[in-house]
A = this chain, B = another copy of it.
Amino acid sequence: MAQQNIYDNGTFFEGYQKLRQREANANNLFEIPERFALLPDLTGLRILDLGCGTGEHEKDYINMGAKEVVGIDISDNMLEVARTKNNDSRITYIKMSMEDLGKLEGEFDLVVSALAINYIEDFEGVVRNVNRLLVMNGEFIFSQEHPVNTCNSGKERWTKDENGVKIHANLTNYAVEGERDTVWFVDNVKIYHRKISTVINSLVDAGFAIEKLAEPVPSEEILEKYPEYYDLKHKPDFLLVKARKTNNI
């Protein structure tokens, strides 16, 4: 399987870094707070982070009491930033694709992943490996692009009125799973669309109990400050899942 490493494309990486530096973006306002809210007490936990990127959260997890954190990512660019800016003796960065997770050995109390799952074709393979790497009752907490968002990637996602106001999101091919080409700073970023039922059923079949789903949208407080995020009330950008390993497979 060809592994996509869009983060080592120079144009992409530059655009991505600028995005992540902005004070208010959808990640910072909605995805990150929701993901952190789903986390258990991290004290003493061994954590694996799938698609750790620049390691910005590895340091957070250590500060929140984690015993050790292993972050894997496929991008040299990302890992170079991680090793420079977010270095700690309790953090290990490994260059590895989630699709090669079968090669990783270890035992973890918590596996996390932020907005990386959509780059992976074989989600089922990943969750089976997450099960193998987790202790019994260990948790898997991840965020992904919402399926109503990924389904029509690469097409115009919104219908706007004559004043440019988004009146509805355009939902197409929700039931047609698989590869999508999308544009994010550069052309041909490949992501994989899966129905929400496929996500949930893959987890259940791989020995997980679903503990919580989240589809974060702006609070009234945030809308007052950033009214442009009203659109998320029409179509959530993110889906977050908290699942617990209840069976070996």
Is the beta-carbon distance between A204 and B196 smaller than 8 angstroms? no
Most chain B CB atoms below 10 A, which of A175, A200, A232? A175
The CA-CA distance from A13 to B166 in the complex, in Å, is: 37
Residues of chain B with a CB closer than 8 A to A210's CB: 200, 204, 209-210
Task: Report if A213 contacts B (CB, 8 A).
Answer: yes
Is the beta-carbon distance between B171 and A234 smaller than 8 angstroms? yes
The CA-CA distance from A195 to B210 in the complex, in Å, is: 16
Residues of chain B with a CB closer than 8 A to A204's CB: 210-212
Residues of chain B with a CB closer than 8 A to A167's CB: 170, 172
Is the beta-carbon distance between B211 and A175 smaller than 8 angstroms? no
Task: Report if A168 contacts B (CB, 8 A).
Answer: yes
Task: Report if A54 contacts B (CB, 8 A).
Answer: no
Partner of A174, one of B152, B174, B235: B235
CB distance from A243 to the nearest CB of B (A): 10
Residues of chain B with a CB closer than 8 A to A4's CB: none
Residues of chain B with a CB closer than 8 A to A215's CB: 174-175, 195-197
Residues of chain B with a CB closer than 8 A to A175's CB: 215, 217, 232-234, 236
26 A-B pairs whose Cβ atoms sit less than 8 Å apart in the complex: A148-B148, A148-B171, A168-B170, A169-B171, A170-B170, A171-B171, A172-B234, A173-B233, A173-B234, A174-B215, A174-B233, A175-B232, A175-B234, A175-B236, A195-B215, A196-B196, A197-B212, A197-B213, A197-B215, A197-B239, A200-B212, A201-B212, A201-B213, A209-B209, A209-B210, A210-B210
Given A168-B171, A195-B236, A196-B213, 14 other A-B contacts at CB below 8 A? A148-B171, A169-B170, A170-B170, A170-B171, A174-B233, A174-B234, A174-B235, A175-B217, A175-B234, A176-B233, A195-B215, A197-B212, A197-B214, A204-B212
